[in-house]
Amino acid sequence: MPYLYLTFAVTSIGLSSVIGGFFNKKNEGEKGASSLYSFLISLAVFLFWAIVFCFDRTLNAKVIWFSLMFGAFFALYNISYILAVKSGPIALTGLFSQLSLIGATVWGFFFWGAKPNLLVIIGVVLVCVSIWLCLYKGKNKDGGEKFNFKWLIFAILAFASNAGCAIVQKTEQIYFNGNYGNFFMFVATGFSAITCFVLWLRDDKKETLKVLKSSWYMPTFAGVFNGLLNFFVILMATTSLSPSLIYPVIGVGGLIILTLFSKFAFKEKLSWWQWLGVGLGAVAVAVLSI
C-alpha cells in the first residue's frame, strides 16, 4: 500500500503540472484565461482541503499567520507558473519549479540549524549547472528551445514562490510539531483562492464564458491532483517509507512525466545541453531531497 501511495503521488504531481500546458494550448490568445485558470485551480485545491478538514477539525489560531503566508506564496506560484508555461517551454518551467527545493535547503542553513554536508554541496552545484545549461542558447540558431525575458521573469517567480511554500510549510511543522496540518492547508488554500479571485476580477473577462465552457475541467482536475499530492504525502508519513525515498521519487518522477509530455505532446525541441540540464536537475532534486 505505501508504494501505491507513492505511485499516486508521482502521478499527481506530474499531471497537475502538465495540465497547465494543455490549458494554454487550448485557450491560446483568449483574454483573461491565465487568471481564470489560477482562480479555478486554487478553488479546487481549497474545496479538496475543506472536505479533508471536515474529518479532522483540530485547529489553532496561531497557525493562521503561517497559513496566510503560505496562501500568498501559493497564489503567486499558480499565477506565475501558468504565465511561464504560456510564455515559454513547459519542460524548463517545470524544472525551475522542482529546483526551487534549493531555496528551502539554503533557508535551513540560516534558520533551522541545518548544516551543509557533501550531498547538499553536490546538490547545490548541480542546480547551478542545470540552470546554466537550460538557459544557454548556444551559438547556432537551432540550438535549444527558445524562450524570452518574459518567460524568465515568470519562471523565477514560480521558483521563488514554490520555495516560499516549502519554507513556510516546514516552519509551521517545526513550530507546531507536525500538528494542525489540515487546518493550515484549509486556511491557506482558502486565502489563495480569494487572492486569485480578486486578481481575476481585475483582469479582462470578455472570454470567460467561452473558456469555462471549453476548459473548466482542466484547472479543476489540476487542483484535485495538487490536493491529492499533499494528501498522499501525509499518508506516507504514517508508513514505513523513509522520507529519503519519498521526496526524491516524487520530485524526479514528476519531472520525468513533465519532460516526456513536453517532448511528445507539446513537441518542444530541447538541445542536447538542455536535455543534459534537465537530467542534472533531476539528479539535483534527488540529492537535495535525501
**For residue 150, what are the domain limits?**
2-289
Q: If DSSP codes are grouped into helix, strand and coil, which group holds residue 136?
A: coil
Does 176 or 230 have the greater pLDDT score? Answer: 176
Find the mean pLDDT for residues 121-149: 73
Does 114 or 264 have the greater pLDDT score? Answer: 264
Find the mean pLDDT for residues 77-92: 90
Does 144 or 122 have the greater pLDDT score? Answer: 122
Crossing angle for the helix pair 2-26 and 33-54, to the nearest 10 degrees: 150
Counted domains in the chain: 1
| Cα→Cα distances 273→118, 131, 181, 198, 282, Å | 25, 11, 41, 41, 14
- For the entire predicted model, the pTM comes to 0.87
Cell numbers standing for residue 247? 521526496
For residue 36, what pLDDT is reported?
95
Q: What pLDDT, in 10s, does the model give residues 23-56?
A: 998 998 888 899 999 999 999 999 999 999 998 8
Helix (H) or strand (E) holding 241: none
Give the pLDDT band of residue 115 (cuts 50, 70, 90).
Answer: confident
Q: What pLDDT, in 10s, does the model give residues 215-235?
A: 999 999 999 998 898 888 877
